[in-house]
Structure 1
């Protein structure tokens, strides 16, 4: 067996065997196969694709290439969640406490933001004292005590994925559905949960720009889960516009708290409840409608908010900022952007809003960049809202006047005001599970 023959085989569109895939991954991780040969294979995969059998085999091999989290000491259904990334996506901070309040376990390893999309770990670290780098024993102990724990993903989980992604990033091979699916699912298989719900974002602010591509990715990941005996379902949600009204770390935590206390923006609440219901359904707690009602009750009773507070305390965070979000450290500079005409907000581009937040200091363009947890944007108007000339559209928060000026210039490219009301935006396109497609 050698790489030349394997590359040639895939170049001609043939299916690779599990043994061949093991040879590639094991050899690459060991440093025995050079980058240029793996890069050639990745390009062949991009152009020729992979079958579900191939993609599942690759996923399993990648999952086994690093550490695997053992959560067997935790009693009960352990349900994970993964978002493909968006702007204003603070749903994990809402959904995980809801699931815990409903009697399931929600152990989750999350990532940091990069580019225009935010990361859950950055949001959590805006809570003073909150520890995201727990040991595995500490992680398990918090889940046992609180029903949930949110920590930073370790660099040794699915080690092959880390190596392959770095190579894909510089060889124009990121946009391959089999490679995206195996990257995501390898980390999920290694994370130790019993099942996973995938939030596949669709639109201008998402990696998957079209519903067709998002459906293909969701169906591939669900098929991997089915073949690997790992229950998997996916919800396809809209990311043309930001989710909720806050973009930025502490600002998003504050908005998540608002939803858990029964308020918050309608779009964020709608998507969060649907995700929570999907997770509870994976845990066997009833039909989607029954699980949705349970999720609503967890918010109404205050149990979900209490779960977030307990987890925050257990991980060293200052719970006073949850009880009163005014206690969060504040940005030194702010500027309100106003409407320049009467009409309707006919466009609010998620990616441009996300890139504005980065300019303000809320995000990072490289993994080494520092972020300002207080920086970001509060949207006063959402897509489809009526606006009047001079009315506030958004307030920008940053540490310097230079950041505010750069952010204001970028933000003005994010929106358009028209004379006619735009078509309503569909928040949730549907769901995919082992049985197929479902309307939501």
Structure 2
């Protein structure tokens, strides 16, 4: 095989053979294929796309580049959820223990935030003592004992994707739907779950800005999962406004605990319960305990506490609080018709809740609290948002991010996407 022949084939609109795909992923993982050659191929894929068969084979080759986890020894079916990322998207935190409380095992491998989207691991690390890195043996022990585990993916899982992801980030090829889909699905399939529910976010605060883009990505990922024997469905959900009221790290943990205690914002509760029902159905447990009941009777909270403790965390410890807060007042009295998710996410990032590079630290206490949601009536001068940070010098830049993000009208209703837009699979 020759890298240039593979590049030319895709550059000219051709379909890569299974042998070409296998050779490419193996050669790039081993360093035989140079970064500049893979960059050229990634751009050709971005411009010319891939067939379903190509994407399935590309994903399979990335899975084969590393280890594949096996949970067949568990006494309950496995099911997992993946979100494409958004602002205030803390759903994994209440969802994993909730689904476990209803009878499934949830081996949730999660990531860190980058840019305006938050990372599940960063949020959980605001809990004193909690650790993200577990060995496969430790994961199995927690899954066996508790039923749910949320941790970082090990270095042996789809190493080809780790190299390719970093390259796409610096070559303008992140937006390729075949490469996004294969990146997500190679890790999820290698994780070994038997069923998977995808939460594909749509709107200003999401990677996919339009419903059509999101549906194309969802259909591609559901196809990959189905082709690899994993029961896969996807929901398209709204990210044109922040999810819940808390955006950040510790503030999102606190909100998640509210949900597990039977309270919390209605949109977070609705999406958590909806995804839980989909996960249980995909795992063949549709007739199991209803997730709404598990929130109401405290059993989901019990699993949360055990899950946090099993990973070294103290579920009773106070969460970090910010040294500085700053209120953003409502600009007028009336109905809040717009609170732009992207702007709120950037503000939280600039306050210290996120990172610009993967190696940057994050502040556990930083974030934004939203005192009103689109559709609520607000009063001029009353706090609409509260900014939280340990570094007051960050506040001005966070305020700049919010310029133009808020719209209040005397009367009317916001033009919002429905929370759950569509289902694929």
Q: Does 1:127 align with 2:123?
A: no
Partner of 1:110: 110
Preserved contact between residue 157 and residue 190 of structure 2 (Cα < 8 Å): yes
What is the aligned partner in structure 2 of residue 72 from structure 1?
Answer: 72
SS of the counterpart of 1:278?
Answer: helix
Q: CA RMSD in A?
A: 1.4
Say yes or no: does 1:342 pair with 2:333.
yes
User: Could you tell me how far apart the structure 2 residues matched to 1:276 and 1:352 are?
Assistant: 29
Q: CA deviation at 1:424?
A: 4.7
C-alpha displacement at 1:273, in angstroms? 1.0
State the secondary structure of the residue aligned to 2:306: helix
Structure 2 counterparts to residues 173-212 of structure 1, below 5 A: 173-212=173-212
How many Å separate the matches in 1 of 2:123 and 2:257? Answer: 12
Which residue in 1 is equivalent to 2:291?
A: 295
> What TM-score does the superposition give when structure 1 sets the normalisation length?
0.94
Check the 8 A contact 2:240/2:416 in 1, yes or no.
Answer: no
2:308 aligns to what SS in structure 1?
Answer: helix
Question: Is the contact between residue 73 and residue 140 of structure 1 (CA under 8 Å) also seen in structure 2?
Answer: no
User: 1:405 is matched with which residue?
Assistant: 396
CA contact (8 A) 1:384 1:424 kept: no
Q: Distance in 2 between matches of 1:337 and 1:284?
A: 47
Aligned to 2:283: 283
Q: Secondary structure at the match of 1:320?
A: coil
1:438 — aligned with what? none
**Residue of structure 2 in register with 1:378 after alignment:** 369
Displacement of 1:37? 1.8
Question: Comparing 72-81 with 252-261, which one deviates more in the overlay?
Answer: 72-81
1:279-327 deviations in whole A, cap 9, x for unaligned? 01101122xxx67x70101101110111100111111111214xxxxx2
- 1:270 corresponds to which residue? 270
| CA distance in 1 between partners of 2:160 and 2:344 (Å) | 33
Correspondence for 1:436: none
Pairwise CA distance, 1:330:
1.4
On the 8 A contact 2:215/2:236 being kept in 1, the answer is: yes
In structure 1, what is the equivalent of residue 136 of structure 2? 136
Q: 1:43 to 1:383 in 2, by over 3 A?
A: same
411-420 or 120-129, larger mean C-alpha shift: 411-420
Alignment correspondent of 2:351: 360
Matched, 1:432 2:424: yes
Q: Of the candidates 397, 401, 419, which is equivalent to residue 410 of structure 2?
A: 419
Residue deviations 1:206-242, cap 9 Å, x none?
0011000100000011111111111111111000111
Q: Distance in 1 between matches of 2:424 and 2:38?
A: 32
- Asked if 1:315 corresponds to 2:311, the answer is yes
**3-state SS of 1:361 partner:** helix
Deviation digits for residues 77-126 of structure 1, max 9, x if unmatched?
Answer: 11111110001000001111110000100111100111000000001100
SS where residue 314 of structure 2 aligns?
coil
Determine the C-alpha separation between the residues in 1 that align with 2:390 and 2:416: 36
**Residue pair 1:87, 1:354 contacting (<8 A) in 2 also:** yes
- Report whether the alignment pairs 1:395 with 2:391: no
Instruction: Give me the whole-angstrom Cα distance separating, in 1, the residues matched to 2:398 and 2:42.
Output: 37
How far apart in 1 are the matches of 2:38 and 2:400? Answer: 42
Preserved CA contact (<8 Å) 1:9 1:16: yes
Provide the rounded CA distance (Å) in 1 between the counterparts of 2:298 and 2:2: 59
For the 8 Å contact 2:200–2:237, the answer to whether it is kept is: yes
**1:4 offset after TM fit, Å?**
2.1
Q: Distance in 2 between matches of 1:169 and 1:363?
A: 17
Q: SS at 2:244's partner residue? A: coil
When normalised by structure 2's length, the TM-score is 0.97
Q: CA deviation at 1:427?
A: 0.6
